[in-house]
């Protein structure tokens, strides 16, 4: 397999790369759930900001016409996009075209070539099930629609390391690495980008961001809701493949990487890959898998399913900076609250009467945003006693941020790869979780509304127990 660490340095790569803006956007799966909830709202937002003024071609097999697609777009924007902006929506409607056809029928791609109407550098967005990626990519290549083009694919990038490598071979048979944009919407979130900038834009953090001062790192992604009608997909995926191998390992990379030489995309992504390669494959003894009571009743779920809806694990980063610092990750459905949070506990100062965990950094990544520092100050009164306080650097009151899909689609069409995942990072992440995929350890049951299986408490005993994020229980 070709080396994917850097982009191929050929003419095709230069055209697909960052110097040429796309002159058309094609999105497969135009009638699907992702398009309804995320893509159409993002497209309207892009129009409003002046970032979309090229043809937008939806492709699907639904027996629809263009009017039905426009109504679907309006409903998605009204329901999930904060409301229809009539001026922006009217412009979007003018740009929107639709092809109704089977992805396995060459005639569908003949129609697409016609609809592109001479566009020289289109972007193709595969908002479709992963099982169709190869079919569409190969058809784009055979029809000529992939020439000088970019492709955006949704996670999961494969089902394991071997399948990720097979998928990459198919992608690179049509597109250069610089023209492949692996979209992990988590990287487009303002909170995640804020975490990255907070680390490297503040000189006070670097001297203490190491094993000498940091006691432990916890990353929690809790959801108080279940699989929400996605039972069939989830039963083929599970928590490790769905969010740990991608979203949460990306967060580990941002927390643990060495400072990049610049914010140039390849510099940042080089450091991310280096960290992934310093993480040994996870030992099954460091994993707890759970499943919430009632999961088997979800539509699409097998009656005897052993798929995890909760996973907690411990890993280490085998580097000079991080040796001996435990990194704990947990993610689950039907937990107590909906919250994603990083909790970096600092080592105890040499004052014996201070409670453990007095000093920490707390990065709230969702659903609200906050970057906070836990400290102790003097308690009012005559005695030299301390009390806990939390200093906030950023809060969710900040406004004007782009939604993740708007940001990522805008960047991909401009050829900016900074917030997209490179193939070597994909493979390195799969190598980390490969030993814990499947039913390698038994499933532990837990009740909805709790913090998961009680067995997971033993995993965190060495660091004084889990830090449970605060939040509200939600059902969406």
Tens of pLDDT, residues 246-291: 999 999 999 999 988 776 778 888 999 999 999 999 999 999 999 9
Q: Could you give the number of structural domains in the chain? A: 2
Q: Which two tokens stand for residue 92?
A: 């979007």
Q: Are residues 144 and 198 in the same domain?
A: no
Alpha-carbon dihedral angle through residues 445, 447, 252, 317, given to the nearest 10 degrees:
-40
Adjacency order of strands within the sheet including 370-378: 386-395, 370-378, 360-366, 339-346, 214-222, 327-332, 310-315, 287-292, 443-446
Same domain, 102 and 22: yes
Would residue 352 count as lying in a domain?
A: yes
The single residue of 36, 247, 296, 458 carrying the catalytic annotation is: 247
Is there a single domain that holds both residue 114 and residue 247? no
Q: Is position 458 annotated as part of the catalytic site?
A: no
Q: Is the CB of residue 456 less than 8 Å from the CB of residue 311?
A: no
Q: Are residues 159 and 250 in the same domain?
A: no
CATH code, domain with 30: 3.40.50.720
Within this chain, do residues 265 and 390 fall inside the same structural domain, yes or no?
yes
Residue 472 resides in a domain: no
Asked which of 153, 183, 213 is the last residue of a domain, the reply is 183
Does the residue 104 lie in any domain?
yes
- Asked if 247 and 237 touch (Cβ cutoff 8 Å), the reply is no
Per the structure, the complete domain to which residue 270 belongs is given by 187-404+423-463
Q: What is the pLDDT of residue 401?
A: 67
137 within some domain: yes
141 and 196: one domain? Answer: no
Half-sphere exposure of 145 (CA within 13 A, CB side): 27
Whether 124 and 271 map to the same domain: the answer is no
Question: Which residue carries 């449970």 as its tokens?
Answer: 468
Model confidence over 9-40: pLDDT tens digits? Answer: 333 433 444 468 999 999 999 999 999 999 99
Specify whether 226 is located in the same domain as 178.
no
pTM of the model: 0.88
pLDDT tens for 414-452 read 999 888 999 999 999 999 999 999 999 999 999 999 999
With beta carbons less than 8 A apart as the criterion, state whether 373 and 391 touch: yes
pLDDT 10s digits, 41-67: 999 999 999 999 999 999 999 999 999
């Amino acid at each position: 397999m070709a080396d994917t660490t850097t982009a191929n340095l050929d003419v095709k790569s230069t055209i697909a790369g960052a110097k040429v803006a796309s002159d058309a956007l094609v999105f497969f799966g135009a009638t699907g759930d992702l398009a309804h909830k995320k893509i159409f709202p993002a497209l309207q937002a892009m129009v409003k900001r002046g970032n979309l003024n090229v043809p937008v071609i939806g492709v699907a097999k639904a027996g629809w016409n263009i009017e039905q697609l426009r109504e679907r777009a309006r409903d998605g924007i009204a329901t999930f996009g904060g409301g229809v902006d009539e001026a922006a929506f009217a412009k979007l409607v003018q740009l929107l075209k639709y092809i109704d056809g089977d992805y396995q029928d060459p005639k569908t791609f003949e129609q697409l070539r016609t609809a592109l109407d001479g566009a020289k550098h289109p972007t193709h967005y595969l908002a479709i099930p992963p099982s169709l990626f190869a079919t569409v990519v190969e058809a784009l290549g055979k029809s000529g629609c992939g020439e000088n083009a970019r492709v955006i694919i949704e996670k999961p990038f494969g089902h394991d390391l071997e399948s990720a490598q097979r998928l990459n071979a198919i992608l690179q048979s049509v597109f250069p690495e610089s023209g492949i944009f692996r979209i992990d919407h988590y990287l487009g979130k303002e909170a995640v980008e804020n975490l990255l900038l907070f680390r490297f834009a503040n000189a006070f953090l670097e001297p203490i961001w190491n094993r000498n001062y940091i006691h432990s790192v916890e990353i929690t992604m809790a959801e108080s809701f279940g699989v929400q009608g996605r039972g069939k997909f989830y039963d083929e995926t599970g928590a490790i493949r769905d969010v740990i191998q991608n979203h949460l390992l990306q967060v580990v990379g941002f927390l643990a990487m060495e400072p990049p030489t610049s914010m140039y995309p390849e510099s940042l992504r080089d450091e991310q890959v280096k960290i992934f390669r310093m993480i040994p494959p996870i030992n099954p003894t460091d994993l707890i898998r759970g499943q919430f009571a009632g999961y088997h009743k979800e539509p699409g779920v097998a009656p005897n399913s052993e798929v995890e809806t909760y996973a907690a694990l411990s890993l280490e980063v085998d580097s000079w900076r991080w040796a001996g610092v435990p990194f704990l990750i947990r993610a689950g459905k039907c937990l107590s609250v909906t919250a994603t949070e990083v909790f970096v506990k600092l080592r105890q100062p040499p004052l014996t009467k201070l409670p453990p965990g007095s000093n920490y950094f707390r990065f709230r990544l969702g659903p609200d945003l906050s970057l906070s520092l836990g400290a102790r100050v003097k308690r009012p009164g005559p005695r030299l006693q301390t009390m806990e306080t939390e200093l906030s650097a950023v809060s969710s009151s900040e406004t004007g941020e782009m939604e993740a899909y708007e940001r990522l689609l805008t960047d991909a069409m401009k050829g900016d790869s900074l917030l997209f995942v490179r193939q070597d990072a994909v493979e390195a992440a799969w190598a980390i979780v490969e030993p814990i995929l499947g039913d390698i350890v038994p499933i532990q049951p837990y009740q909805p509304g709790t913090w998961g299986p009680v067995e997971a408490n033993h995993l965190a005993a060495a660091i004084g127990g889990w830090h449970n994020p605060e939040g509200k229980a939600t059902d969406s």
